A and B are shown apart, each in its own frame.
Chain A
Amino acid sequence: MSQIKGKPARVQVDPNEFEEEQPPQTGTVYNIWYNKWSGGGNNHVLVKSKYKLDVERDSGYTRADKTQGTGYFCLFFAKGMCSKGKKCEYLHRIPRDDDVFPLTVDCFGREKFSENRDDMGGIGSFNTVNKTLYIGGVLTDRKDVQDRINGEFKPLGKISKINVISGKNCAFVTFKSESNAQFAKEAMNGQSLYGTDILSVKWAHEDPNPEAIRQKKRTIEQETQQVVLQLLDKYKRQRQDDGPHVEEPEEPEPVQVVQQLKQIEDTKPTTTSNTNGILSGVSLELLKRLPQPKPTDRKSLVNAYESSDDDDD
């Protein structure tokens, strides 16, 4: 990876030669914004992708590497069709282990949904962590199919498991990290292993195999333990920092929200709407009636609130 850092990202597609083509007609109305047909039947036709990502050749630095950008990956790069090269505002490389994204977006910065789509395509759900891809349209009767899948998916991230279901023409690929799975899903959808086949890559449902369920339970347990340990650590540190009587200033506090909103709107909240408040509704009310000097420092502001909180108690 370090050698890639030194070279600029390749322009994958020449913008002058790029032609936008309509996909084969499957509906009655063509939407030029989404490049999709709508209306009519629901017959989804897989189209073989014209472009393909070559990780070794195409990755490199872009504008996103130089500035503290959004840190999201280029979707067009993943599909092998970014025409911007090093001028792209998004990352042109494979997600690494230290690329962590918020729960609610994927590695391309697209917002997730609460539920998976019915066909398990698309961006996926924020309620579950899915690292497994379903690969449809695999010619499983070929002898070297496992090797081919390994060869195509290995450059896109660390693979934990590949399971080829022979007779069902599909395979499941599990990645080490979720962002690699998201990246590989976009990179491999519509690609082909043997030239004649077209892969359709979607999210996998949960594995119903009892051994897999047990293993998942174990990993969740381990994760929970880890998180609890971290929480305890944080909690202990806070206690040491603060001394016996002061509340933690580190923890998220709705007081802050109230304060910030005040500066935008002049509306006076009549009651506290935060269920998680450390201040009772009455105390907040009292505070609001006080003449408020413009706070100069956030820390002092929090402390001021806390002392009055102590008085109330």
Chain B
Amino acid sequence: MSADNKDDVPAVCETCLGPNPYLQMIRERGGLECKLCTRPFTVYKWAPVKNGPFKHTIICLTCAKQRNCCQSCLLDLTYGIPIQLRDAALKMAGVDGVQGASEPKNEVSKLYVANNSERFKSIGGAAVTSNRDKAKEILEKLAAVKGNRPSKSANAQKRDTLPQHIENIDVSKIVSKLPFNGSLEPPSNPELKTLFIFGVDDSLPEYKITEFFEQFGKLKSVNCQHGARCAFVTFTRRVDAEAAAKSISCPISGQSGLFLIENIPLRVTWGKERSLGTTNREKLKVGSIVTKFLKKLSKNSMNTTKRTNEEQTNNNEVKRVKSDTRKPAKEADFEKTFKNYEY
């Protein structure tokens, strides 16, 4: 049994209590099992809005005190945020000891921590936020930290090289069939309604791609493989596919189109749906080749900006690419993001 006194009041936040200052609560001793420490505890039940749905406490007072959280919604009592987020924020502010006394993992240690509440007075950042002045101080500190911190963009992260056993996989058969060197010119085959997209980043969710292409017409299917960094978007109507292709600009005519979603540059060509590898390892290897190819492409287009009249031959490990040298000037801001982007 949890050591709740009969005089104890529940630790519940104001949001859970609702707007009514004359609130009635129903108390039941040992009514439920605490969801954290599994001991029975005194349950309080109330309706935040009159005749509305009831709320009740789900963890015992001891556990709530140790974490400085609401017994009902489990949010931090001072900040009103989830306790995991609070601990992460405190860590950001450089508060020590947040990780020290961490959440107990198994059932026995949970019970032990709850039964020895004098010894484990606070878990995580509870000690900080339970003190109001200190909590404010930390907020100010966090503001300073926030200002100094360079905002880490997803692009700044460098990709690891693949482990050797994946690097050794031969995917030339798969890669040779992928239309990396295709163009955005409408192909002669009228049945082809599929656009091939490559350069898909792990942080780019599939629905963003779907949303982008859905503005041109109904999609039949989207096959997005984050491992292989490729996607196939099939339209139900050819006209829509052509409209989509038309809207995307080509930095180098006769080559793949380039567009941005969430500041992630993606290359587009027409292309029939092909296999992107059957196993995950194959997909990863295809992805690494795509990365290399993208690097070459961006380097290539940068070179073409420098030396507009010189012809560049691009020796690629995938295929030999012949690039057109002319590059429209209006693609300047594309180029900007492109240069900053690290594959």
Contacts and interface: CB of A to CB of B under 8 A. Distances in A.
B22 A273 contact: no
Interface string A30-65: 000000000000000000000000000000000000
A163 B224 CA distance: 9
Quick one: which of A257, A276, A298 has the most chain B CB within 10 A?
Answer: A276
Quick one: which of B7, B21, B80, B278 has the most chain A CB within 10 A?
Answer: B21
B25 A261 contact: yes
Contacts of A251: 14, 78, 80
A291 interface: no
A228 interface: yes
B139 A162 contact: no
Given A218-B152, A264-B25, A267-B7, A161 B157 contact: no
Given A274-B11, A276-B11, A278-B132, A260 B146 contact: no
A276 B10 contact: no
B191 interface: no
A253 B12 CA distance: 9
A234 B53 CA distance: 28
A275 B65 CA distance: 6
Contacts of A104: 58, 72-74
Contact of A147 (B10, B17, B206, B221): B221
B6 to A, nearest CB: 7
A162 B21 contact: no
Interface string B201-227: 011011100100000000001111111
Q: Bin the interface of chain A by size.
A: 35 or more
B212 to A, nearest CB: 13
Contact of B206 (A160, A214, A260, A295): A160
A22 interface: no
Interface stretch (A10-18, A76-84, A192-200, A219-227): A219-227
B227 A163 contact: yes
B325 to A, nearest CB: 36
B152 A260 contact: no
A228 B9 contact: no
B259 interface: no
A4 interface: no
Q: Bin the interface of chain B by size.
A: 35 or more
A270 interface: yes
B85 interface: yes
A237 B308 CA distance: 55
Interface string A83-108: 00000000000000000001110000
Nearest to A211: B202
Interface string A176-195: 10000000000000000000
A251 B223 CA distance: 48
B207 A228 contact: no
Contacts of A231: 79, 81, 89, 139, 142
Interface string B302-323: 0000000000000000000000
B5 interface: yes
B160 interface: yes
A120 interface: no
Given A104-B58, A163-B227, A227-B85, 15 more contacts: A126-B35, A154-B222, A160-B205, A160-B207, A162-B206, A176-B207, A221-B152, A225-B146, A228-B89, A228-B139, A252-B78, A257-B12, A260-B21, A275-B65, A276-B132
Interface of A: 70, 102-104, 111, 113-114, 126-127, 146-147, 150-151, 154, 158-163, 165-167, 174, 176, 210-212, 214-215, 218, 220-221, 223-225, 227-229, 231-232, 235, 251-254, 256-261, 263-265, 267-270, 273-276, 278, 295, 298, 301
16 contacts: A104-B73, A104-B74, A126-B35, A127-B103, A150-B222, A161-B226, A174-B205, A215-B202, A224-B92, A227-B89, A228-B139, A229-B146, A254-B9, A256-B14, A263-B22, A264-B24
Closest 8 CB pairs of A and B: A160-B205, A158-B207, A252-B14, A252-B13, A298-B21, A260-B23, A224-B88, A273-B8
